[in-house]
Amino acid sequence: MSIVEIAGLRKSFGANEVLKGIDLQVTKGEVIAIIGKSGSGKSTLLRCINGLEDFQSGTLSVDGKPLLHHNATAMRELRQHVGMVFQSFNLFPHLTVGKNIMLAPSLVKHTDTKTNEAHARKLLQRVGLAEKFDAYADQLSGGQQQRVAIARALAMEPAVLLCDEITSALDPELVGEVLRVVEGLAVDGMTLLMVTHEMNFARKVANRVIFMHQGLVHEMGAPEALFSNPQTPELKQFLGALHN
């Protein structure tokens, strides 16, 4: 059973067609790494999956729920099933770490404060920041802020977690701590779609790697096969450029 179903997805910004007919099925518990040059449509694809971008044609459903932009109820429903972690941490600076994590469940699910706080503390423990419940974002390193952002996305108990280049704004020495958290989620069976430049991580953790090129899924396969034996000149060139 596919948890994410995408068929014939096309998305344009004005005259510029960014996604040119994407077909993709993701099964529950699968970890997908999405790689490709800037402008290949990777982030736009994620933003379509969680409803941040409207698309011109094609169909998209998550956890059996179709994405219907003109239907506010359907969009709310969808967003409860999809978590997203962005490149920039986007934490609310005026709220403590704990309150950042508790905000969405209290507003959307109307979870009572006691349950919500217990859940938030458990999530902070999961990302290795149990002691930071009462801290503010500006007291944390970039890596810690990004781990809080992951905990916040998990607070809504999403069926699918989307990660959009979540390590690219971090200093190199902080990248590992964030990727370890994501790896832990993968081990626990979370369905993950991750746009990443971290090829070693993609090779180690992903079940499938998708190489996007000019708005299309250009190649797709198991990490070992894709990295060791690229089938197209575009992927060969992309991987070659990384090693130079």
pLDDT in tens, the chain (244 residues): 789 999 999 999 999 999 999 999 999 999 999 999 998 999 999 999 988 898 999 999 998 888 887 888 888 888 888 999 998 888 999 999 999 999 988 888 788 889 999 999 999 999 999 999 999 999 999 999 999 999 999 998 999 999 999 998 888 889 999 999 999 999 999 999 999 999 999 999 999 999 999 999 999 999 999 999 999 999 999 998 876 5
Closest alpha carbon to 155 in 112, 121, 182: 121
Angle between helices 113-126 and 142-154 (to 10 degrees): 130
CA 244 to CA 238: how far, in whole Å?
10
pTM: 0.92
Q: What strand order describes the sheet that includes 31-35? A: 82-85, 160-164, 191-195, 31-35, 208-213, 216-221
- Looking at the chain, the number of H-run helices and the number of E-run strands are 9, 10
Q: Which CATH class is domain 2-81+160-243?
A: alpha beta
Residues of the chain with CATH 3.40.50.300: 2-81+160-243
Closest alpha carbon to 51 in 72, 28, 31: 72
